[in-house]
Structure 1
C-alpha cells in the first residue's frame, strides 16, 4: 500500500509592486535647478519681481504719470520725507516706488519677449546651419562672424536713430540682432547630433528633413537654448536701459526702469533716490536671470553632482 500524500498548500504569489513612474525630463531639470542654491535664489527673486509687476496697480500709491511739482524731490518717508512716499519723488513730483513697479512691466516685457524672439530665430537658423553645415551653414556662420565683429552699441544707436525711437522698434532690432549667439551654439550641437544612431535610423525609414530636424534633433539641443535665453533676458533689460538712457528707447508718456534713470540723471545730487532705486531694480533683474542661467546650466549637465541632492550620487 502506498501512503497518501497530502497536497502541499502554496502561499499565494504577491504581485510585484508597480515600478515608480519616471520623472519627465522637464521635471527632472527643474528639480536639479531647484536643488541648487542659485536656482532657489533666482526663483524667489524673479517671483517677487514678477509679482510686483503684475500687482503694480495695487502696490502703487498713485498714478505713476501724475505730476505734483509742489512735491518735487521729496526724500523717502523713512529718511524724513513727508507725504508718505516710500522711495521719495522725482524732479516732477512723481512717486518713485509707483513708477518702479510699473516700469518693471516694460523692462520685463522687453527682456522676455525679445529674448524669446531671438531664441526662436536662432533655433531655426541654427538647426538649418548645423544640418547643412557644408552649404547653407557655411554662409550663415560667416554672416554670424561678421555680425560678431561689429559692436552692437554702434549699430543699435545707428539703427534706432534711422528708424526712430520707440519700444517696439527697439525690441525688433534687439530680437533680430540676438540670433547669432543661439545659432552658433545650436549649429555646433546639431552637427554632432545629426550623426547619432537615432537620426540615422529616422533617415533610413524615410523620415523627411523637417521631421528629423524638429522631432528628433531639436529636443536634443533645447538645453543650450534655454540656458542662453535665461541669461539673454537679463542682458537685454540692461541694453534697453542703456538705449533708453540715450533717448532711443521708451518714449514719454511711457517709461521703463531705464527711462527713469535717464529722467533723473541730471538731479542725482538733489534726489539720489530717483536714480539709485531704479538702478538697484535693474541690477536685481540681471542678477536673477544670471543666477537662473547658472542653475539651468548645471541642471542640464548630467555630470553635475551636488551635495544637496543625495539621489544624484
Structure 2
C-alpha cells in the first residue's frame, strides 16, 4: 500500500488516528497494532515509519521518492529496526541487541523506530526486557508492536502502548483486491467467502491443492444428483485422497457449504449473492433434488460434520455418514 489514501480504504479508523498524530504533532512513543493476519498491520507500520522519517512528506503523506522512503522499502534504513521470531519465539537476546542499537546516535537523524512482528511470541525474559525499554521512552523513539493476540502480551506492556484495533476486511473488498491481482471473479468470490484475510486468500489461490477443491465439490454434487449409489465410492477414491489433513477437509466442507448456500439463494432469488455463478445448470437440477428446507438441513449436517472433525472423529467415517445423509 503506497499511500494513506490506499490504507484508509482497508482500515479507515486506524489510518485516521495515525495521520492525525502527524497533523497534531503527537506521535506516541509506542503503539500496539492488534488484528488478524492479513488486515494490513505490517503495511501500515511500514507506511507509518516512512511518514516519521520522510523529510519531504506533506502532512502525514510520505513522498515515496526520497532516500529515506526508498531505503525503508528496500529494508536498509539504518534507523528502522525490525524484530521477528527467531524460530518459535522472540528471545531476550534479540531485545538486548535492539537496545544496544538504540544506544547509538541515529545515522540519518535523531529518530529511531523499531517494529516487533508477532510480539505475542516474546519469551517471558524478552517481554520483561522490552518492558524496561518502554518504561524509559525517548521522545525520539517510536515502537510498533504487531500481534494477532494482544491478550498474550503482558498487561504492563499493553498499558504503555496506544492500542489500535485492525478490523477484519470486508468480503467485497477482499474480492476486489483479489480481482485486481488477476484472480478470476469466480475464484475471488469463493476465496472472499472463505476468509476475510487477504494474505490467506492469496495463499489459497496460489496453492495447486486448492485449485482442485472447487472441482471436487462440483463432482460430489454431480454424484449426489445423478449417481447416488456411487457416493461412498467417490468419497473413498477421490475425495479423501485429496483431503489428507483435517484442516484441508475443513476447507473442503466450507466450500461444500457455499454450494448449499447458493441453492438457498437461488430459492430466494438472490442471484448476486450466488458464489458458483458458472454452475447454473447444475444448480437448476439441484433445485429439483433439494427443497429449500432440505438445503438448509444439509447446511446443518455439514456443520455437524465439521464439529466431528474437530472432535477427532475418523475423517473417512464422517464423510461417509455425511454423504449418506445428503443423499436422503
Structure-1-length-normalised TM-score: 0.24
More contact order relative to length (CA 8 Å, sep ≥ 6): 1
Structure number with higher helix proportion: 1
Higher radius of gyration, 1 or 2: 1
Structure-2-length-normalised TM-score: 0.23
